[in-house]
Amino acid sequence: MSDAPSTRADDLGLSGKVAIVTGGGAPDDGIGNGRAAAMLLARAGASVLVVDIVAEAAAQTVAMIAQEGGTAAAFVADVIDEGQCRAIVDAALARFGRLDLLDNNVGIGARGSVVDTPVEDWRRVMQVNVDSMFLVSRFAIPAMIETAGGGAIVNVSSISALRPRGLTAYSTSKGAVIALTRAMAVDHGPDGIRVNCVAPGPVYTPRMYTRQMSAAGREARRQASVLGIEGVGWDIGHAVRFLLSNEARYITGQTLVVDGGATLVGPGRAPG
């Protein structure tokens, strides 16, 4: 896998801070959006609680951070469960003593229109993609205020919220994430908490190669970028770290599109 360039910790104001990254695991040593964000935050000096529903995936991210000399701990949780979301925040406080940063990264997809999407699929996508961010933030925000006097949150959306393409439940949920981000920014700006959103485009992550995306599909996704390059998890991780850092101190309620310019051109969907 490609590697990310190093950045001096003191440039970002992240040293000594504590972050929660949900969906921070990935299969084997693959670099997904959450794992990239967790590793980059740790490289900048933050202590990271890596949350995933798969214990081995979270543990692997922690091992990769430790190998680089960073500080992290794994926590297994299902982020659609209110009690487990409370436990995530409690674990961060118990392990690291404070909470400054949150990357709400969990999400799933579903194909189909309102006519042919099964009701159970619709509800599951809304639960995982929207409820999870509501629930983790519900407990993280008071902890940030109490232990750090403020903080920063990034919610991960998708360009599907901006350019619907046959994934109606997914597009709707990711549009809700953008609205949630804006509402949270207004509600909690007075508390010293910034809330922003990253909308990834067609990046190549473990989710793509574990489902055995065809070479033609991968090439079509690369060509969807006006830059003609393929996006990877590191690209999303860098965007998340920027928005959580002091470099973004005057940015809140915004959606940063990271798609190589794909939304600037036609809405065609790449083959699988």
Catalytic residues: 170
What CA–CA distance (Å, rounded) separates 236 from 223? 18
The phi-psi region of residue 31 (left if phi > 0; otherwise alpha if psi is between -120 and 50; otherwise beta) is beta
The phi-psi region of residue 260 (left if phi > 0; otherwise alpha if psi is between -120 and 50; otherwise beta) is left
What CA–CA distance (Å, rounded) separates 92 from 108? 25
- Fill in the DSSP letter of residue 248: G
CB 151 within 8 A of CB 193: yes
CB 21 within 8 A of CB 233: no
What CA–CA distance (Å, rounded) separates 250 from 242? 12
Q: Which residue has the tokens 């699929």?
A: 121
Cβ-based neighbours of 213, under 8 Å, separated by 6 or more: 272
What CA–CA distance (Å, rounded) separates 109 from 129? 9
